[in-house]
Amino acid sequence: MNETLQKASRIGLMADTHGSVADLEVSIVALKKAGADALIHLGDFCDSVRTGRLEDIIAMLIRENVAAVMGNNDFQILNRLKSNSLDLPNRSRETVLAFLRSTPVIRNIDGICFAHSLPYDNIRSFYEPIDDGTVLRAADIFSESPHRVIFCGHSHLPALFVWHAGVVTRQASIAKRIVPFVPENRYIIVVGSPSSGECGIYDSGRHQYERVLLDI
C-alpha cells in the first residue's frame, strides 16, 4: 500500500463518510473520474452508531484499494470488536478487525502528512479538531510539526490554513478550486466530507490541491 502511494502522482482524498456506503461510493467514483491514481480515506469511514453496513464499508475499501488513517469512530469500533461488544458474523468480524488493526493513525509520504485531524502518532491525533474556528491551534501545529503540508478531516467542513513568514491565516471555506503550494509557505487543508459536498486530490507533480465537488 505504501509503495502504491509513494508512486502515485494524484492521490484522491476523502473523509468522514461515517458508515455510509453511498457517500463512500460517490467519493471513490468522483475521485477516480477526476484522475486519482491512489486513494486515501482520512478517517471515520466507520460510525460508532451506524454499524449496519460495517462489513460492506470495509469490503469496499479493500476492493477499491483505499488506504486509510484511523478516525475516532474507527477507533471506537476497533475497541468494541476487541471487547466483543459488537456482534458481527465470525468471517466478517475477522476481516473488519484485521483492516482496523492495520490502519495507522497517520501516514507520511515525502514530507506530506495525512491524518484524521492532528499530525501525531497517538490517540490525540483523532479526537481534537484542528479547525477550532481560529488560527491558534493551526499555529501550534505549524510550530510543533515538521510537515510542509497536512491533509486532514474530522471537522466535516473544508478549511485552509496557510503559514507564511510566521503568520497563519485561515479560510473557513476554500475559495478556489485549486490551491497551489508555494515553496515558502506551509499548508493545512481540512478536506471536508460528502455531507459538505467535498473531497479532493493532492497532485504531487503540480504541487497543488484540487477540490473535487460532489453531487450529493
Q: Which phi and psi (to 5°) does residue 91 adopt? A: -65, -45
Share of the chain above pLDDT 70, in %: 99
Task: Please state, in angstroms and as integers, the Cα–Cα distance from residue 165 to each residue in 67, 142, 174, following that order.
Answer: 33, 11, 21
Short-list 153, 156, 147, 158, CA closest to 187:
147
The pLDDT tens digits of the residues spanning 92-118 come to: 899 999 999 999 999 999 999 999 999
Looking at every residue in the chain, the average pLDDT score rounds to 94
Q: Which CATH superfamily is domain 7-213 in?
A: Metallo-dependent phosphatases (3.60.21.10)
Over 70: is that where the pLDDT of 86 sits?
A: yes
**Section 133-155 average pLDDT:** 96
- The 3-class secondary structure across 163-202, one letter per residue, is EECCEEEEECCCCCCEEECCCCEEEEEECCCHHHCEEEEE
Residue 212 · residue 34 · CB < 8 Å: yes
Over 90: is that where the pLDDT of 138 sits?
A: yes
Q: Give 3-state DSSP helix, strand, coil % of the chain, rounded to 5.
A: 30, 25, 45
Short-list 27, 79, 26, 31, CA closest to 51:
79
Strand, coil or helix: 16: coil
Share of the chain above pLDDT 90, in %: 84
pLDDT at 1: 62
Over 80: is that where the pLDDT of 216 sits?
A: no
